[in-house]
Amino acid sequence: MKNAYLPFVCRSTRSLMAFALGLVLALVPLVANSQVAITSVNGFVYKQDFNSLAQANVAFPNIALPGWQLSGGASTTLTADDGSTDGSGYYNYGSTGSSDRSLGFQGTGNKAGDFRLAMKNTTGSPIKYFKISYRAEVWRKTVGNSSPIDFSVSTDQSTFTNVDALDAETYISDNGGAINGNQRFVQKSFIIRNAPLAANGTIWFNWTLHSKWGISIDDVVIEPVNVVDFYNKAGEDLALLTSWETKLLGQTIQPLSFSDADQVFRIENPTAITNGLTLSTHLPVTGVDSKLVIGDGTTRIQMTLAGGQTLKGTVDILDHATLIINTPQVPVFGQLSSGSTVVFEKGAPSVIQEGTEFGRVIFNTANTNKFSKKVKIKGQLTLQNSTLELGDNDLELAAGATIVNSSPRNYIKVNGKGRVRKALKAGEEALLPVGNATYNPVKIKLASGSQEDVFSVGIMEGVYGTYTNDLPNPLTLLSENLVSKTWVVSEDVKGGSDITLTLSWSALDVLPGFNKLNCHIKHYENGVWDTVESTAALLDPISLTYSVSRSGIKSFSPFTVANRGEPGTIIGGPEPFVLPVELINFLVKAKANTVALTWATASEKDNDYFAVERSIDGKNFTEVGQVKGNGTSQVRNEYSFTDYHPMAGTSYYRLRQVDFDGQHEYSPVRSVNAQNSQVVSLSLYPNPTQGTEVTWQMQGLAPGEEATVILTDITGRNVLQRTLPTGGTGVLATAGLKAGTYLVTVHSRAGAKTQRLVVR
């Protein structure tokens, strides 16, 4: 993209000729006091991307950059560099071979570099405000964790006023050395309201780069505007134009329309709390670049939307201001300060479509809510009477942000790809009230001396014997001696962390054989679950959850809680688990060529029957038989079922208890390794395959018997399912399969057989 700007004012015709000649021949020095001419307020936009510098060492000031200079009118050379050079000076930063350039500086000690842009108002009228946007890019990191840029403005080139909102703090966690600034940058945008420019006056915009790093500015956009601020009159209807004025306490000009451009409607009257904020119906602030601002950053202001009240347009909420939403229409959120508060009440929608960064948020909806996009909380999240569901969207908590009022009824449901993310500094700890079907909070404490980092937490139902990239192998589901949850904990920057991890669970989460008096956190690493010293779990008397901790964790992947030894091994006797019929025992054993199932109930109510279900993968179950229940009973009842045609190898069983009204509940899953005298074998060739088909050959089928083949990917998703004809051989098309590992499972009356297929 080439730089775009309007004609600029030069001191002489010679300068104009030099500019024209320089565009054709070379980049040559320009007189330091040239200026960019502002010819109009409406529609004038100055754009500068510095790409005209090309990848070359160039003199600065330069004819290709009219209006740009160093403080004091000095001159220098911009050295073309991609961040590889470690040395003080001014740079023409950009990737090697790229025409995308930027103005850069790297200093030593307290040395700072200044870039200054001069613009002259030739419109004939005063200019009140300026929109400013630019990128602060990092091209080289040396020492420290951040590198600041200060932005200031002056209308006399003598006294410069700092504009805090345009200061840039370029924090990154990369290792030292060259960095691609096109990927590591901070975008800054703001409207300057404290530097009005008189007709024929000149304004100077100044960037001071305080940096031992190599940092730069790029993609500068400046637009002069005349924005009018209107303030509310205390106690009057905000939906009426007559309720707004241009001064805080005085009565001057009223707005002509809510839809005009460049208007800011500010609710910050100091007496607003006393007299109340009134909104009869709709407040449509719909003009281009117009918005509604609630609060002044210091005064406590509270506004409620209920019934048919709506705010149409962008809404900013400043510190100490609160917006209570008790209506289905949520406004479009703009800037929400860290000290602002948004309260969602029962009338709010269950899915929040608006907002990406919040200050304080309170959910009091008596419902399950979710955000439709990734959201960051800068202040505090209060789960007053709600469950927050993530789905596939992350919820990030900034440094210092907290979550309060969590409980087994009020927590964050991690039920998809979304994760709860929390920034922690050394010595800090955070309680993340996560769960899925049940409440399973996680506490992370980052040890002193560790590097600041962002930690992500997710939860999966079940625990498995093997994982690939934190995804479980569905054929390795474990069913004994552990808590049936997998906590996935990760860090953004690998290495440098040392945490103490605390995991919590309820009695509903444990599998048979688990002993809460002798358990520990297991970490899946290098293909196995590790084992450390066990301890007794602690009971929280308020949430009725158990917890156990483990310190010294410096690497991250799946975690669970189990007894000492490998998950799935039988240690101790089974613990009771509860179904509506009070199921107190459920055993599955292989006997000869059959599988025997036995279970017992302590009491029953309206129990019609038990359906016995079987699975080869622990995920997809089919019914293999039924056992009649005893209706309503207060005595112990014993039940049994024999599977005379079990699947060969490991299979999974569960009970589906069905009431007379059709309601049903599932028991825990049990696994068994059965030996079947009629064994099916499967051969695939070529394997691995790079072609378009694979030949299969089966042995062990009864004469004339058909079989079903299911092809699944590594995540357990069915890719192909078909019935194979008799005869024992056939062809499987692989042309449409992506490269990777697949599982081919053949089902027949004699059992099932699974084999890996590698497609290259």
Mention the CATH class of domain 681-759.
mainly beta
Amino acid code (one letter) for 51: N
Asked: is 583-674 a CATH 2.60.40.2060 domain? The reply is yes
Q: Is the pLDDT of residue 346 over 50?
A: yes
- 652 Cβ contact partners less than 8 Å away, ≥ 6 residues apart: 477, 479, 614, 615, 616, 617, 618, 621, 669, 670, 671, 672
CA–CA separation, 65 and 221 (whole Å):
14
Q: Is the pLDDT of residue 18 over 50?
A: no
- Give residue-wise pLDDT tens across range 75-117: 899 999 999 999 899 999 999 999 999 999 998 777 889 999 9
Looking at the whole model, is its pTM more than 0.85? no
| Cβ pair 744, 759 in contact under 8 A | no
Between 3 and 62, residue with greater pLDDT: 62
Summarize pLDDT for 198-213 with one digit per residue, the tens.
Answer: 999 999 999 999 878 8
| Predicted local distance difference test score (pLDDT) of residue 739 | 83
Q: Supply the pLDDT for residue 722.
A: 75
Tokens of 673: 């390794």
Helix (H, G, I), strand (E, B) or coil at 537: coil
pLDDT tens-digit series, residues 646-664: 887 788 899 999 999 988 8
Encoded tokens for 214: 């190599």
pLDDT of residue 266: 92
Predicted pLDDT at 28: 31
**Residue type (1 letter), 187:** Q
Which band of pLDDT confidence, cut at 50, 70 and 90, is reported for residue 262? confident
pLDDT of residue 250: 41
Q: Position of tokens 């509903």? A: 508
**pLDDT of the residue at 751:** 56
* Count of C-beta atoms within a 10 Å radius of residue 247: 11
What pLDDT score does 566 carry? 45
What average pLDDT does the segment 220-247 reach? 83
Residue 30 reports pLDDT greater than 50 = no
pLDDT at residue 629, as a whole number: 94
Average model confidence (pLDDT) across the chain: 83
pLDDT value of position 681: 64
pLDDT confidence band for 577 (50 / 70 / 90): very low
- The span from the CA of 386 to the CA of 662, in Å, is 30
Domain boundaries, the chain: 8-225, 583-674, 681-759
- The DSSP letter of residue 24 is H
435-453 average pLDDT score: 92
pLDDT at 700: 56
Percentage of the residues of the chain whose pLDDT score is greater than 90 = 42
CA distance 404 to 426: 22
Q: What's the CA gap between 184 and 175, in Å, rounded?
A: 13
pLDDT value at position 8?
26
Query: What contacts 494, CB < 8 A, 6 or more positions away?
Result: none
Q: Are 397 and 421 in contact (CB under 8 A)?
A: yes
Specify the range with the lowest mean pLDDT, choosing from 190-204, 250-264, 380-394, 520-534. Answer: 250-264
Q: Where would I find the beta strands (DSSP E) of 557-666?
A: 558-563, 583-591, 594-601, 604-615, 621-633, 637-643, 649-659, 664-666
CATH of domain 8-225: 2.60.120.260
Tokens found for residue 136 = 């602060």
The angle formed by the CA atoms of residues 335, 340 and 342, to the nearest 5 degrees, is 95
Edge-to-edge strand order for the sheet containing 351-352? 351-352, 367-371, 386-389, 412-413, 434-435
Q: Identify the band that residue 745 occupies on the pLDDT scale cut at 50, 70 and 90.
A: confident
Yes or no: say if 661 and 732 are a contact pair by the CB < 8 Å rule.
Answer: no
Distance CA 597, CA 43 (A): 80
Lowest mean pLDDT among 164-168, 278-282, 290-294, 481-485: 278-282
Percent of the chain as helix, strand, coil, to the nearest 5: 5, 50, 45
Fold match, 583-674 / 681-759: yes
Tokens at residue 600, please?
């017992």
Q: pLDDT tens for residues 701-744? A: 555 566 777 778 766 677 887 776 655 667 777 777 888 888 78
d(CA 10, CA 532): 76
**Lowest mean pLDDT, pick from 398-407, 597-606, 722-731:** 722-731
| Bridge partner list, 33 | none
Higher pLDDT, 143 or 391: 391
* Closest among 354, 238, 258, 379 to 303, alpha carbons compared: 238
- pLDDT bin (cut points 50, 70, 90) of residue 192 is confident
Torsion over CA of 273, 275, 276 and 281, rounded to 10 degrees? -150
**Most confident among 50-64, 523-537, 580-594 (mean pLDDT):** 50-64
Beta bridge partners, 572, equal none
Q: Higher model confidence: residue 585 or residue 364?
A: 364
Q: Is 50 exceeded by the pLDDT of residue 7?
A: no
* Structure-token match 């199932």, residue found: 597
Count of residues in the chain = 760
